[in-house]
Chain A
Amino acid sequence: AQSVSQHNHHVILSEAASLELGCNYSYGGTVNLFWYVQYPGQHLQLLLKYFSGDPLVKGIKGFEAEFIKSKFSFNLRKPSVQWSDTAEYFCAVNAFSNQGGKLIFGQGTELSVKP
């Protein structure tokens, strides 16, 4: 079965620190990869996505992610976090199958940024 694993459940950083959140998936075929962010009390918003092409993807608010096919990974990065980045971050995979465009989500990583 397809699965998505996020290694860090809770990350605490100070402002201006660099961020890297890990995401690994288990599926050997073609995948689309996503990072969503959920600010406190809000719905999920798309940060960035990878379908094909350049494996380094840039998203909104200074976030980027790198797809490394050989490692089945899609880690999220930001060089310098801000207090406003405090949120929960979800990695998701859309594995091509005959079951529609279903997303498989990781468990989420809660990021707390201290001012």
Chain B
Amino acid sequence: NAGVTQTPKFRVLKTGQSMTLLCAQDMNHEYMYWYRQDPGMGLRLIHYSVGEGTTAKGEVPDGYNVSRLKKQNFLLGLESAAPSQTSVYFCASGQQTQYFGPGTRLLVL
């Protein structure tokens, strides 16, 4: 089992560009999450999903959209990237215990 995987690993964007981060899990989990990690702030929840076709806002949802068309995939979209979205993005899956992916490092210039 691969667990939780994320693509890409690293990306540089210019302000205003768009991109999609992909998260995939092979553990048949219903719950999936997107977090961002910034120095001194721990991890903050962006959006989450409690099942295929459902999404909900987390703590810091502004500027992001998500989709959960398939149970195993959870996509995070940035429609118009801003420098404030420079961060490391982690996907996780699981309900009682969450398992994390390797992260995507995003730099917005």
Residue positions of A touching B, CB distance < 8 A: 4, 9, 32, 34, 36, 42-46, 49, 51, 90, 92, 94, 99-103, 105-108
Contacts and interface: CB of A to CB of B under 8 A. Distances in A.
Interface of B: 31, 33, 35, 40-45, 48, 50, 56, 58, 90, 92, 94-103
A46 B99 CA distance: 8
A4 B98 CA distance: 17
What 9 A-B pairs have minimum CB-CB distances, sorted nearest first?
A: A105-B42, A101-B95, A44-B100, A105-B43, A43-B102, A107-B42, A43-B100, A100-B50, A108-B42
Given A9-B40, A51-B96, A102 B45 contact: yes
A94 B90 contact: no
Contacts of B58: 102
B96 A102 contact: no
A105 B90 contact: no
Contact of A46 (B33, B56, B97): B97
A46 to B, nearest CB: 7
A51 B97 CA distance: 10
Contacts of A49: 97
Given A105-B43, A107-B41, A99 B56 contact: yes
8 contacts: A43-B100, A43-B101, A51-B96, A99-B56, A101-B95, A102-B45, A102-B48, A102-B58
A56 to B, nearest CB: 19
Contact of A34 (B31, B56, B95, B97): B97
A102 B42 contact: no
Given A99-B56, A100-B31, A101-B31, A90 B101 contact: no
A45 B3 CA distance: 12
